[in-house]
Structure 1
Amino acid sequence: MVKITDVARHAGVTPSTVSYALSGKRPISDATRQRIEASIRELGYRPHAGARALASSRSNVLALVIPLRTGIHVPVVMQFAVSVVTAARKHDHDVLLLTQEEGEEGLRRVADTALVDALIVMDVQLHDSRLPLLRALDRPSVLIGFPADAEGLTCIDLDFRAAGKACVEHLALLGHRCVALLGSPPEVYVRETGFAQRVVQGFTAAADRHGLTSSIHPCDATPAAARAMAERLLREHPALTGVVVHNEPIVEPLIKAFESLGLRVPGDLSVTAICPDELAEQTPIPVTSVTIPAEEVGTRSVDLLMRKLDGMEVPDTTLLPPRLTARASTAPRAG
């Protein structure tokens, strides 16, 4: 393993000079700094994490706060987590994952220690109890999600309102006049989770603008619930020809349920979804979908946080536009 003394010998300086160059505690001439940096690159030297933290008064650890509440689809959440961890490592940071539903108390416990330099917070609710503390903390934070009032916060997410709108407009252009949103489990709406509320807003606004008959149906994330919902929709909305699904686990069970009830997808019923591309592509009938850009959101949230840690200005709001990919599950309305 390459040591700081090896770098010093290679660069022709003392070990303390290398230390000063790494920590920035004392001024080093540009020529000497460049020589040290060249030696570090050539030898592949990596400063010890503890030494870096001591020198910079940083822990080089980010907290990722993901309360795994009921109704949350864990596989998609973990895509965000993996993206954050991967991006953080590129910035030489580790990630402390906090999954308990601890609210403000959990945030305060972490913030009152030297465990982490900054926080990324997920599963943001419209009226989130954690917001006053996040605004008051002396540590930078980034929210993946948007509350009703984002003033004084840095937020990033897919534009879920535009995503709901995009799905409805795709169906409207295909001639569908009666559409339904099959949404997240009921408890997600009870908590006023931001992304779920915004999909409803976009769906409703677009349906109204196009003069469509529309309805909204929260649904538990089980095959049995999907079957019961399919039966209910056919019973209550016999003119239904277009469906938007914002509930990843029921996308495939729902299509199977409709087909078992005698509807052909997309011949009789067009189905769109807001979900990861891999899910949409792997169903027996590939589903027209707006992708969940977990990798991009996670990477950009870390980049925002690192810029804040470096004292740089960042935008308060970053909304990623939806990208809809048409696949085999949608077609013009029959008749």
Structure 2
Amino acid sequence: MVTLAEVARHAGVSASTVSYVLSGKRTISTPTRERVERSIRELGYHPNAGARALASAKSNIIALMMPLRTEMYVPVMTDIAVAVATTAREQAHDVLLVTGHEGPAAVRRVVGSGLADAMILMDVELEDGRLPLVREAHRPAVLIGLPADAADLTCVDLDFAATGRLCVDHLADLGHRDIAVVGEAAAVYERRTGFAERTVQGVRERAAELGVRVLHRPCEGSYESVAGTLARIFDERPATTGFVVQNEAAIGPLLGLLRQQGRAVPEDISVVAVCPDHVATQTSVALTSVAIPAQEMGRRAVDLVMAKMREASAEPVVELLPPQLTVRASTGPAPAAPRTGPAVPAAR
């Protein structure tokens, strides 16, 4: 491993001069600074992160709090995390990944350790227990998600309420008057996770405005869970012809069960999903969907937190990315006479 002393010898300067170039604590003449920087590049020198932190009181590390829960769709969270990490690296920062779901304790640990200059929080709940500590810490922080009270906080998220409204608009325009929402696992709603709550809120508000009936049912995502959820929906609302699915794990089983029951998509049932594009396009029927802009959210979170690090007095902002609905093969006009008779048993 190349040392600071070796860089100094290569550049023909003292070790303290190299240190000053790295820390910026003293003004170094342009020719000397350029010579030192050239030696750093040619030798492949990387300053020790711990020593750099002690010298500058900065670690150039961003803590990404990404609780990994069994009921969450991990690929989307991973896509966001990769976007955060690559964007941070482009701006000479590294990412400390905090995956436990310790709530406020995780914030205390990150702030108390001094390992990170800033924080990005994912899996944001409407009444998130981490937020009082985030406000008190006076450390740059950005939320990927939107709590009920975003005062004094900087947030970036897909506008999930608008997403719900957009799904209802599309189905209602096609003549569907009974819509069912196949949602996330029950635990997601019990925790009042922001994205799930806001989507259902948007669906209900727009449905009420348009006179469309809505039934929302959480679903674990397994084949058995989807089969039970589907049976309950058709028992309670036999005239249901439109589905909004916000549960990536449920999509495959749902399409398979509808096919088993002789319900054709989109002739008998129309399906709109809130999911990544690659999920929507790789199913047995290409799904009309609202994409989750995971990479854009991750990039914007880093840009926002870097701006807060550069200027501590930067005003808090809430950026809600507008949803985009792509029409594919899974939606069509509501059938003139919705099928209400008994379905083929949903057994495997």
The alignment's TM-score, normalised by the length of structure 1, stands at 0.91
Which residue identity is paired with 1:196?
A: A
Residue 19 (structure 2) aligns with:
19
Which residue identity is paired with 1:268?
A: D
User: How much has 1:88 moved relative to structure 2?
Assistant: 2.3
Root-mean-square deviation (CA, aligned residues, Å) is 2.2
Residue 292 (structure 1) aligns with:
292
- The answer to whether the Cα contact below 8 Å between 1:304 and 1:314 also exists between their aligned partners in 2 is no
- The answer to whether the Cα contact below 8 Å between 1:186 and 1:220 also exists between their aligned partners in 2 is yes
User: How much has 1:148 moved relative to structure 2?
Assistant: 0.6
Deviations 1:149-208, CA, capped at 9 Å, x for gaps: 111111111111111111111112222222111111112111111111100111111212
- The answer to whether the Cα contact below 8 Å between 1:124 and 1:194 also exists between their aligned partners in 2 is yes
User: What SS does structure 2 have at the residue aligned with 1:209?
Assistant: helix
Equivalent residue runs for 1:48-197 within 5 Å: 48-197=48-197
* Structure 1 gap segments, 5+ residues each: none
User: What SS does structure 1 have at the residue aligned with 2:104?
Assistant: helix
Residue 251 (structure 1) aligns with:
251
Structure-2 separation of matches of 1:325 and 1:41:
46
User: What SS does structure 1 have at the residue aligned with 2:113?
Assistant: coil
User: How much has 1:14 moved relative to structure 2?
Assistant: 4.2
User: What SS does structure 2 have at the residue aligned with 1:286?
Assistant: coil
Residue 318 (structure 1) aligns with:
319
Residue 238 (structure 1) aligns with:
238
Residue 216 (structure 2) aligns with:
216
- The answer to whether the Cα contact below 8 Å between 1:2 and 1:44 also exists between their aligned partners in 2 is yes
Structure-1 separation of matches of 2:55 and 2:310:
15
Residue 339 (structure 2) aligns with:
none
Residue 346 (structure 2) aligns with:
none
User: What SS does structure 2 have at the residue aligned with 1:112?
Assistant: helix
- The answer to whether the Cα contact below 8 Å between 1:307 and 1:314 also exists between their aligned partners in 2 is no
**Larger displacement relative to structure 2 (168-177 or 269-278):** 168-177
Number of aligned residue pairs: 335
Structure-2 separation of matches of 1:285 and 1:56:
56
* Structure 2 gap segments, 5+ residues each: 337-348
**Larger displacement relative to structure 2 (260-269 or 24-33):** 24-33
- The answer to whether the Cα contact below 8 Å between 2:83 and 2:298 also exists between their aligned partners in 1 is yes
Structure-1 separation of matches of 2:145 and 2:221:
21
- The answer to whether the Cα contact below 8 Å between 1:226 and 1:254 also exists between their aligned partners in 2 is yes
Share of identical aligned residues, percent?
Answer: 53
User: What SS does structure 2 have at the residue aligned with 1:20?
Assistant: helix
User: How much has 1:53 moved relative to structure 2?
Assistant: 2.3
Residue 329 (structure 2) aligns with:
328
Which residue identity is paired with 1:230?
A: L
Which residue identity is paired with 2:329?
A: A
Deviations 1:105-138, CA, capped at 9 Å, x for gaps: 2221221112222211111111111111110003
User: How much has 1:41 moved relative to structure 2?
Assistant: 5.3
User: How much has 1:16 moved relative to structure 2?
Assistant: 2.9
Which residue identity is paired with 1:327?
A: R
User: How much has 1:36 moved relative to structure 2?
Assistant: 4.6
Change in 2 beyond 3 A, CA 1:174/1:34 = farther
The alignment's TM-score, normalised by the length of structure 2, stands at 0.88
User: How much has 1:326 moved relative to structure 2?
Assistant: 1.2
Structure-2 separation of matches of 1:113 and 1:91:
23
Structure-1 separation of matches of 2:324 and 2:15:
52
Residue 306 (structure 2) aligns with:
306
